[in-house]
Structures are given as structure tokens and as C-alpha cells.
Chain A
Amino acid sequence: MSAATRPRLGGLLACMPLLLLVAPLRHTLEGSMALHMLIELPMLFVAGGAAEGMLRHKSRLAGLAQRFDAYGLLGLALASCIAALWMIPSMLDLSLLDARVQGAKYLAWWLAGFLSCSSWRRAAPELAAFFLGNTAWMLATAGLLYQDAPQRLCVSYLQDEQVISGQGLVALSLLVGALAIARLVARPGQGVAPLTARSTPNAGFNPPSVCRAPRATRSAE
């Protein structure tokens, strides 16, 4: 991808949550359990990550993150906790029935993307793989439970959708697990965790493009 198109793509991805202001689109996304869990929530996460990618050279946030979370531990831990919390079936129902929970959902997933994208760059491969592996395991467990539950877990969704969502979560867990392995495999001789506030971002593994620094600043790559 060219340096010119990357910021444009990042901007588009960062603006995706604005689509949720279009009520029919939001109703469509949240009217299906699979779209809700597998499209809307990841979209908010990616949008947060894209926003971080755009802002990190223009704000003090990067400095703060580097200062308080130099090893990427906090951002990844927060994202893991948020992902785990939103596997609880009642949270999905409550987000549809209570505007406060709905707002918290949008904010939490966006924030999870924003913080973990920055943490991902700084985290050592082992640490990143640990959190990704745990998230993969959690997604797979939730996916299997959703498929096996004999009754509806959410009053807002049909049982057929629950099974499809469960299958989707298992597929997503495989993707996340593969990402964890890729991060570990890419490590030897390349991946280097940042050491100080002056160190360069992790250069051993190419993170998702929205998390990458603009080409001009990635001298280490």
C-alpha cells in the first residue's frame, strides 16, 4: 500500500463508527447477533486502532502511552478485559435495551482498539502473543458455548443466529490465534520490544496497516 493511500484508508476506517448514526444501518447491524458480534464490535475496535494510527504523531497521547505503558501491557490487558466482558450474553441485550450500555459499548470497543493498537507496537512478541492467545481461547470457548446452549441466551435474538454467531466466534478465534503465532514466528532476530521512551516501535512484525506508523517515520522498517 502506498504512503499516500494509507492515511486515506486510516481515515475511512476511523470514521466507520459514524455509520452507526444512520439508524437503519445500525438497526440492521444490531438486529442480527452475528452482525452485532462479528461486524459491529470489530468495526469499532478497528476504528479505534485507525484513529490511534492517525493521531499518534500529532498528540501527546503517544508520549503518555509510552511513559505509562512502555511495555504495552495495559492497553492489551484492557482490550482483553473488554472483549471478555462483551462475551456475556446479557451485555448484548442490555446494549439494545439501555442507551447507557449502548454508549458504553461503542466507547469501550473504540477505546480498546485505540489503546491496544499503540500497545501492540510496543509489546514484546511474547506478551502480545500471550494476550492474543488468551483472547483466542476466550472467543473459542464463548463460540462453543453459544453453539451448544439449548435455549436462547439473548432475548433479542433467535437461536439460529446464536449458533451462527458461535461459529463465527470460533472462526475469529482461529484468526486471532494465527495472529498470535505470526507475532511469535516473526520475532527471531527482528522483533525488539521498546526499551525506553526514545526507542523505536517494534519492527519485527508488521502489525495491521492501521496500526503502523506512516512510512516516513518508520526508519526501523
Chain B
Amino acid sequence: MSAPASPDYPAGSETPALLAPMLVALLLLIAFIALAGQLTRGFEFWTFESLRRDDAAAGRLRAPPALLASPQGRMPTPWPGRHGEIFLVDFIYTRCPTVCSALGAEYTRMQAALRQRFGAQSPVRLVSIAFDAEHDTPAALQAYAAQHRQDARLWLIASPVDSAQRHRLLRALGVVAVPDGFGGFVHNGAIHLIDADGTLRGIFDLDEWPQALERAIALTADLAA
């Protein structure tokens, strides 16, 4: 196919074929639509957070083991752990006046529920990872623990011992904290359900803590069976 004769394309001049570039442009468009479809997993997930949650639901994310510092001393992450254990993990910074305080209050409630159901030997345990290396000192963690009435048998509050371990852990789970301009952070704080292998099995919003707890207990029952 050639372009038709027109004032722009005078008759008699050699006009390059138009069909081939049109077909290639069409293929290009199809390729980009396919790429966009793949990147958004069928045009369903347009944000990093939604992709992360889909990854979590499918068990595609795994928390690496890390060395933690807590008021009780240094210890490894509880994962890898014993078969059947489940950890409800959140990411906090102790100076956080909003989200982390809310998370702390929810963890206090979950801790009470776990103690009532399992006693001190709960297969579901709580873990709070503090990521503000500058301010989340053992003393600050101790104060946070006291504020939220932490029971160390059920709830571990600690921070990675160095920036490399912190970065590796947060990056593996897709947790991103950005400075809020007021000395604090904004982060995709949520409750992460992690199994004994370190595999992320689900992410729950702050107000979904009862569902997170229910899911964790159901998983331990499934794994025990």
C-alpha cells in the first residue's frame, strides 16, 4: 500500500509504503499493552503496594533471617522457626505518634487474645521491628514495650543490628519508609503474617488486626494438622 496522491504527496513521486509502518506501529501498541498488562498483572494492580499484597497472598515474598537488638539483648529473627509457628510482624519507629501507636495498641490487644487462648506457649507470636536506627535505641524500645505492656514471651520488640540487615529485611518485604518532613516517617505500615520459613503469607491493614489474628490461628491449626 502506498500513500494516496495529495498536495502533500504529489502524484508521480515515490511514496514510501505506509502499510508496513502502520502494521509495526500496531504491533508496538499491542506489545506495550501486553507489557502494561503484565506489569499490572492483568490491569488489576497499578500501585507497588497492591502488587506487594498480591505477592504476599501468593507467598512470593520471603523475609530473610536477620540479627536483631532488643532490650533483652541480641537475637536472631524468630524465623526460620519451628514448624507450625506463625509471626505477626509490624514495622515501627518508636517516636511515631500516629500509626505506630495505633499498631502498638492493637498488638497489646492481640497479645491479650493470644495469652488467653494459648498461654505463654503460643504458636502465634508478635514481632515489632523498629527501623529508625538513630532513635530506636534499646532504651527507646524498652519505653515502647512498657507503654504497650509487652509480654516478652509473646511479643518481641527489636531493631536490626545494622543498616545492611535492616535494608535487606525491609527490601525483601517491600516495606518503604520515607521521611515525612517533620522528623518522622511515612511507611506502608501494616501487619505482616510470616510463617516459620519466613514466607510472607498475608498483609493486613491496621484496622484488620482481628482478621490477621484469626488467619494466623487458622494457619497454625492447618499446619499442625
Q: Which residue of A lies closest to B18 (CB)?
A: A71
- Knowing A81-B29, A196-B15, the reply to whether A90 touches B48 (Cβ < 8 A) is yes
Residues B24 and A74 in contact, CB atoms below 8 Å apart: yes
Tell yes or no: B1 within 8 A of A by CB. Answer: no
Q: Which residue of B lies closest to A159 (CB)?
A: B186
Tell yes or no: A70 within 8 A of B by CB. Answer: yes
Q: Report the minimum CB–CB distance from A163 to chain B (whole Å).
A: 14
Residues A68 and B176 in contact, CB atoms below 8 Å apart: no
Looking at A73, A155, A157, which has the most chain B CB atoms within 10 Å of its CB? Answer: A155
- Knowing A69-B21, A93-B48, the reply to whether A77 touches B178 (Cβ < 8 A) is no
Q: Which residue of B lies closest to A155 (CB)?
A: B176
Tell yes or no: A91 within 8 A of B by CB. Answer: yes
Residues A196 and B21 in contact, CB atoms below 8 Å apart: no
Residues B178 and A157 in contact, CB atoms below 8 Å apart: yes
Q: Report the minimum CB–CB distance from A56 to chain B (whole Å).
A: 18
Tell yes or no: B207 within 8 A of A by CB. Answer: no
Count of chain A residues near B, Cβ 8 A: 32
- Give the docked Cα–Cα distance between A109 and B48 (Å): 21
Tell yes or no: B180 within 8 A of A by CB. Answer: yes
Question: B residues 192-223 with Cβ under 8 Å of A?
Answer: none
- Give the docked Cα–Cα distance between A153 and B8 (Å): 46
Tell yes or no: B134 within 8 A of A by CB. Answer: no
- Knowing A90-B51, A195-B13, the reply to whether A158 touches B40 (Cβ < 8 A) is no
Q: Which residues of B contact A70 (CB under 8 A)?
A: 16, 21
Residues A192 and B48 in contact, CB atoms below 8 Å apart: no
Q: Report the minimum CB–CB distance from A51 to chain B (whole Å).
A: 21
Tell yes or no: B28 within 8 A of A by CB. Answer: yes
Ranked 6 nearest A-B pairs via Cβ: A93-B48, A70-B16, A81-B32, A155-B176, A77-B25, A90-B48
A residues touching B (Cβ–Cβ < 8 Å)? 67-71, 73-74, 77-78, 81, 84-85, 88-91, 93-94, 97, 124, 152-158, 192-193, 195-197
B residues touching A (Cβ–Cβ < 8 Å)? 3, 8-10, 13-16, 18, 20-22, 24-25, 28-29, 32, 35-36, 39-40, 45-51, 171, 174, 176, 178, 180-181, 186-188
